[in-house]
């Protein structure tokens, strides 16, 4: 799409939009494409372990290193705030997410995540059962879907025919069978990888669904939505392994009428997963070196050298460390390393561009009939808008506040250029146009819209990604350099990022 083609919804009778880009600095990451500045006057710095990237994986790695008694740790990040894709924003004094916004309750394999949540006081064991602090569980009503002119409770479209219902049930059985026969786990490194998994990974999810006669439009819309929501790309782009993993590694798929079905509880906060990122980063404060763009990483005989650009003072730093953990996306790690290992060179991952928009409103919106406003609000039929969450939903303060909504758009690869180049106003118009069918009065009520762009938000588990031997190889250190990023799982969620960080700390100290 060209920048011009984004323009929509001209509203001459309304005041100009207030807002702008927030949260990310694409020009900083793009410094890696430019020639290196002269290193002759670089400021020398050192640390025993240097972590590049203060996203969830980098923070988890530093936390685990400290638990293991390694205190001489430094963490670099190109942004002025730690947290990566799990950072927050503030509008009119209220917190909201710019990226990750929820965490499902961890299953038994996500033991490191459970331990973190226990230490943060979110859960405690009582008589052998996990007791979750209700304040942090998503309050009711959790989610609703706009379909056929009305809101329905829950995101799975009500079955429109006996055949659709039969297909819902059949898919549910196939997910349960895959879970029983093959096994799926979150984080994915805790599941065995068998020829059965590899066969699923060799085809697209859409092809697998076709083979099983699962073609009901409502089922296919829902599965597409789930893939776009977790993987940033639809069912015809991600692998069948990924499509099944989404359900089989967590809660399964529950057809309507399934007696065992319960709404999946999730942890969420007004600022989304920034709540977690801030609690991870706060104790690491003295070790965080923000506004630093790592430019080059070279392994030497006695250690590793990292050249980093210190943005506020526009000068180069030369870091020396015994070990380096690259907690950046793997395509960034490949660019950073002077001599990338073969595994990294052979790896090909696609990354999805995403756009998020925080919308501050003057008054609550007029609502269509049906289910009441919920935490997560999704519109059936929309192809790039995933929906919006209400940042006020979890607020415990009963004082009425202006509504604050966070909208999520997973974009096709072809729109990355426009995301970088088109003015924010055009993207704001695009977001408003996508939201208009559900909320025609949105533009009138809009006080401000802040947009956040992620050119390479998350790796897409395309066919072959998860089976790549290179991915497995990179879970082990290459010399003095270890890797820690959700990309190691082939897709991006908190559990994968956190576990990758803890695992990297273990290999560095073993
Ligand atoms: C819009 C959006 C919504 C999401 N929603 C959810 C959700 O609700 N729940 C969920 O579980 N997951 C969600 N995710 C996935 C999210 O990516 C993961 O949960 C997690 O935050 C990934 O952490 P990470 O450490 O692996 O990666 P990142 O967050 O990518 O961290 C990498 C860090 O490296 C830094 N970096 C990169 N290059 C350099 C360099 N050259 N020098 C210095 N620093 C560098 C970056 O600035 C960044 O801080 C979402 C992602 C996005 C983009």
pLDDT at residue 230, rounded to an integer: 96
Ligand 1 center from residue 434 Cα (angstroms): 25
pLDDT at 67 over 80: yes
Element (H, E) at 32: none
Q: Best substitution site from 29, 34, 60, 85 to test ligand 1's pocket, by max atoms within 8 Å of Cβ?
A: 85
DSSP letters along 122-159, please? SEEEETTEEEE-GGGBPPSS-EEEEETTEEEESSSPPP
pLDDT at 39: 83
Q: Are strands 304-310 and 43-52 parallel, antiparallel or unpaired?
A: unpaired
Contact assessment for residue 405 and residue 391, using Cβ atoms and an 8 Å cutoff: yes
10: pLDDT strictly greater than 80: no
Over residues 71-77, the mean pLDDT reads 98
User: How far is it, in rounded angstroms, from Cα 378 to Cα 435?
Assistant: 10
From the number of C-beta atoms within 10 Å of its C-beta (0-12, 13-18, 19+), residue 497 rates as: buried
The DSSP code sequence of 219-243 is HHHHHHHHHHHHHSS-TTTSBHHHH
Mean pLDDT of 74-100: 97
Q: How confident is the model at residue 9 (pLDDT cuts 50, 70, 90)?
A: very low
Q: Which helix (H) or strand (E) holds 367?
A: none
> All domains of the chain, ordered by start, with CATH?
26-87+272-348+463-509 (3.50.50.60), 160-261 (1.10.405.10)
The percentage of residues in the chain with a pLDDT greater than 90, rounded to a whole number, is 91
pLDDT at 12 over 80: no
- 1 has pLDDT over 50: no
Question: How far is residue 157's CA from residue 378's CA, in Å, rounded to a whole number?
Answer: 11
Residue with the smallest CA separation from ligand 1 atom 2 is: 99
Atom of ligand 1 nearest to the CA of 32: 41
What's the confidence (pLDDT) of residue 7?
Answer: 45
d(CA 130, CA 108): 11
Q: Of all atoms in ligand 1, which is nearest to the CA of residue 335?
A: 41
pLDDT of res. 382: 84
pLDDT of residue 6: 47
Helix (H) or strand (E) segment spanning residue 502: helix 494-509
372-376-381 Cα angle (round to 5) = 95
Residue nearest to atom 5 of ligand 1 (CA): 100
Query: Are the C-beta atoms of residues 144 and 378 closer than 8 Å to each other?
Result: yes
> Looking at 5-14, 27-36, 379-388, 461-470, which range is the least confident one?
5-14
Name 454's bridge partners. 354
Task: Report, as an integer, the average pLDDT of 310-335.
Answer: 97
Cα 327 to ligand 1 centroid, rounded to whole Å? 10
Cβ-contact 288, 278 below 8 angstroms? no
Query: What's the pLDDT score for residue 260?
Result: 65
Predicted confidence (pLDDT) per residue in 234-251, tens digit: 999 999 999 999 999 998
Per the prediction, the chain carries an average pLDDT of 94
Between CA 153 and CA 437 the distance in angstroms is 18
Q: Which residues contact 508 (CB under 8 A, 6 or more apart)?
A: 49, 61, 65, 70, 323, 325, 477, 482
Q: In ligand 1, which atom is closest to the CA atom of 102?
A: 8
Give start and end residues of each alpha helix (H) in 212-349: 217-231, 240-248, 274-281, 330-336, 342-346
CA–centroid distance, 78 to ligand 1, in Å, is 12
To the nearest 10 degrees (0 to 180), the angle between helices 56-67 and 274-281 is 40
pLDDT digits (tens, 9 = 90+) for 164-202: 999 999 999 999 999 999 999 999 999 999 999 999 999
Instruction: Give residues (CB < 6 A) around ligand 1.
Output: 29, 32, 52-58, 76-79, 84-86, 99-103, 273, 293-294, 327-329, 332, 354, 356, 408, 454, 457-458, 485-486, 492-494, 497
Residue 8 is predicted with a pLDDT of 45
Measured from the CA of 408, which atom of ligand 1 is nearest? 1
Q: What average pLDDT score do residues 432-456 get?
A: 97
The atom number, within ligand 1, closest to the CA of 354 reads: 1
Ligand 1 pocket mutation, candidates 25, 55, 112, 246, criterion most atoms within 8 A of CB: 55
5, pLDDT greater than 70: no
Q: Given pLDDT bands bounded at 50, 70 and 90, which one contains residue 3? A: very low
């Amino acid at each position: 799409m060209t920048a011009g083609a984004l323009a929509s919804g001209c509203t001459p009778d309304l005041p100009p939009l207030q807002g702008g880009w927030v949260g990310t600095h694409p020009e900083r990451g793009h410094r890696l494409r430019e020639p290196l500045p002269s290193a002759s006057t670089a400021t020398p710095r050192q640390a025993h372990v240097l972590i590049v990237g203060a996203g969830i994986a980098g923070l988890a790695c530093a936390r685990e290193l400290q638990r293991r008694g390694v205190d001489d740790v430094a963490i670099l990040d190109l942004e002025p705030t730690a947290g990566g894709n799990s950072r927050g924003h503030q509008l009119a004094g209220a917190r909201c997410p710019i990226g990750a916004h929820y965490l499902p309750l961890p299953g038994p394999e996500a033991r490191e995540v459970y331990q973190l949540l226990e230490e943060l006081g979110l859960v405690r064991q009582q008589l052998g059962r996990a007791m979750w602090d209700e304040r942090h569980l998503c309050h009711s009503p959790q989610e609703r879907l706009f379909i056929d002119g009305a809101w329905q409770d829950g995101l799975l479209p009500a079955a429109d025919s006996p055949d659709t219902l039969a297909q819902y049930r059949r898919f549910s059985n196939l997910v349960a069978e895959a879970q029983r026969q093959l096994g799926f786990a979150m984080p994915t490194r805790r599941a065995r990888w068998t020829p059965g998994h590899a066969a699923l990974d060799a085809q697209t999810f859409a092809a697998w669904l076709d083979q099983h006669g699962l073609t009901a439009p409502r089922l296919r819309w829902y599965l597409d939505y789930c893939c776009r929501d977790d993987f940033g790309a639809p069912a015809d782009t991600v692998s069948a392994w990924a499509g099944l993993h989404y359900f089989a590694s967590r809660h399964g798929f529950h057809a309507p009428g399934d007696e065992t079905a319960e709404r999946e509880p999730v942890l969420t906060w007004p600022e989304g997963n920034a709540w977690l990122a801030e609690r991870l980063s706060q104790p690491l404060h003295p070790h965080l070196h923000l506004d630093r763009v790592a430019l080059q990483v070279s392994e030497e005989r006695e250690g590793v050298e990292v050249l980093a650009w210190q943005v506020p003072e526009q000068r180069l730093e030369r870091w020396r460390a015994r070990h380096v953990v690259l907690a950046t996306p793997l395509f960034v790690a490949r660019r950073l390393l002077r001599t990338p290992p073969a595994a990294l060179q052979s790896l090909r991952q696609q990354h999805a561009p995403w756009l998020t928009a925080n919308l501050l409103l003057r008054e609550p919106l007029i609502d269509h009939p049906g289910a009441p406003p919920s935490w997560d609000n999704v519109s059936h039929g929309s192809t790039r808008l995933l929906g919006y969450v209400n940042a006020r939903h979890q607020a415990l303060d009963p004082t009425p506040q202006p509504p604050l909504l966070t909208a999520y758009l997973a974009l096709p690869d072809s729109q990355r250029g426009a995301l970088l180049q088109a003015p924010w106003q055009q993207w704001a118009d695009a977001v408003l146009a996508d939201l208009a069918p559900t909320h025609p009065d949105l533009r009138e009520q809009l006080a401000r819209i802040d947009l956040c762009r992620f050119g390479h938000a998350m790796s897409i588990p395309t066919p072959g990604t998860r089976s790549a031997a290179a991915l497995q190889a990179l879970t082990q250190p290459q010399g003095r350099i270890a890797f820690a990023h959700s990309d190691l799982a082939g897709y991006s969620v908190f559990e994968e990022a956190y576990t990758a960080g803890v695992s990297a700390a273990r290999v560095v100290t073993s």
